[in-house]
Amino acid sequence: MSKGKFAIGAFFGAIAGVVAGVLTAPKSGKETRASIKAKSEDLKVEAEAKINEAKLKAIDLEKRTKQAALGAKEGFTSEK
């Protein structure tokens, strides 16, 4: 299993655990809704951070791929 799939599975497992914990906690409806809202905002911030991290990795990968392609092209042209 790749690290990415494991991380996604762990992330959704954590969400499910939080939701189950919040829904089974002995709180009033108002407290439960406030707790769900706070947790969802925390998860949103965390998801945005992961998305930004993935974007940066994709940009870096694109840059390295272009450099490798240019290097290969230069090597190919110099061999002829």
The pLDDT tens digits of the residues spanning 4-61 come to 778 788 888 888 887 787 777 777 778 878 888 898 899 889 889 999 999 999 999 9
pLDDT score of 66 = 92
Q: Specify the number of domains making up the chain.
A: 1
Which is nearest to 24 in space by CA: 36, 8, 14, 12?
A: 36
Residue 18 vs residues 6, 27, 34, 68: alpha-carbon distances, Å: 18, 14, 13, 44
Question: Can you tell me the distance from the alpha carbon of 12 to that of 64, in angstroms, rounded to the nearest whole number?
Answer: 31
Residue 31's domain spans which residues? Answer: 3-79
